[in-house]
Amino acid sequence: MSQFNLTFQEDPEQIFDIVSILGQGNYGKVFKGIHKLTQKEYAIKVILVSEDIFQINKEVQILKNCHHDNIVGYFGTFYKENAIWLITEYCEGGSTLNLQKVLKRNFTEQEISSIINQALNGLIYLHENKIIHRDIKAGNILLNQNGEIKLADFGVAAQQIYTNAEKQTVMGTPYWMSPEVLGNQKYTNKTDIWSLGITAIELAEGEPPYSHIHPFRAMFAIKKQPPQGLSNGKQWSDIFNDFVKKCLILDFNERPSAKELIQHQFIIQSNNYCHQILSDLIVENIEYIEQYKLQNLYIIKQFLYYFIK
């Protein structure tokens, strides 16, 4: 994967055409950009430098050092006036969150197994490299046209070499946060496992547990109430229910690791079809996916005019 030769003097707007909006990440908006010379497509995260520069730099460093099929690829960084342009791999299918909106339905059990299967492989790589993502959710799980899942948005990720004080800071998205994080205990890679279990519910039901109440109330409920599994467990297989249950074990010391969960029957069942089933899903719906991305062209123009010019 080649990287651009970037300098502070280069103007990214002379190199890329911004053609659609892909979503909102931590610390910035994410756009689809086309390299004017090669016509290759990229995802471009535009971050205002008024944001937490330490977190921005950390995201860049983590992406730079990660090389795995299930982690979004990094190509380089541009600086223009008051903004940083972070150039990463473009995923045609967008996020699993947006794909749910395009499909106007929730995912099937086979599709969920295929998504979580590959997400676990990405987490195994991160955890072996002492990186905690800290914000696993459907909006941060991307798909490309080959049916590959890519973990993205490392804006609040942490490397375990950083200080304990930082690892104890509550970061992430409330509905996906683990009880131990909300209880001000130290972050471990097991918090990603909890978030993955909540994401599995989100993929199955369209929303995470407690999404109907205010985030602050949800945080209190997650910390104090028993774990919420699939709301209609009878609709799903025993192995899916068991997988979610294991991800949401309250005691993080007892919660399985990503390496252990990859051996769960719910995951093993999709080993032979996880790429094909997702690739077919993207190919069949690519026209609707592109239409969805183009709905927000006005937002692009306004954002670039007011914050980048």
Q: What's residue 260's pLDDT?
A: 98
User: 11, 52, 69, 135: which is the annotated catalytic residue?
Assistant: 135
Q: Give residue-wise pLDDT tens across range 163-193.
A: 443 445 555 688 999 999 888 787 899 999 9
The fold of the 1-90 domain, in CATH, is: Phosphorylase Kinase; domain 1 (3.30.200)
Overall pTM surpassing 0.85 (yes/no): yes
CATH fold of 94-279 reads: Transferase(Phosphotransferase); domain 1 (1.10.510)
45 a known binding residue? yes
| pLDDT digits 0-9 by tens, 17-75 | 988 888 776 667 889 999 999 999 999 988 887 656 777 777 888 899 999 999 999 99
pLDDT reading at 238 higher than 70: yes
Whether 135 is a known active-site residue: answer yes
What count of other Cβ atoms lies within 10 Å of the Cβ of residue 83?
20
pLDDT of residue 28: 73
- Domain positions in the chain: 1-90, 94-279
Are the folds of 1-90 and 94-279 the same?
A: no
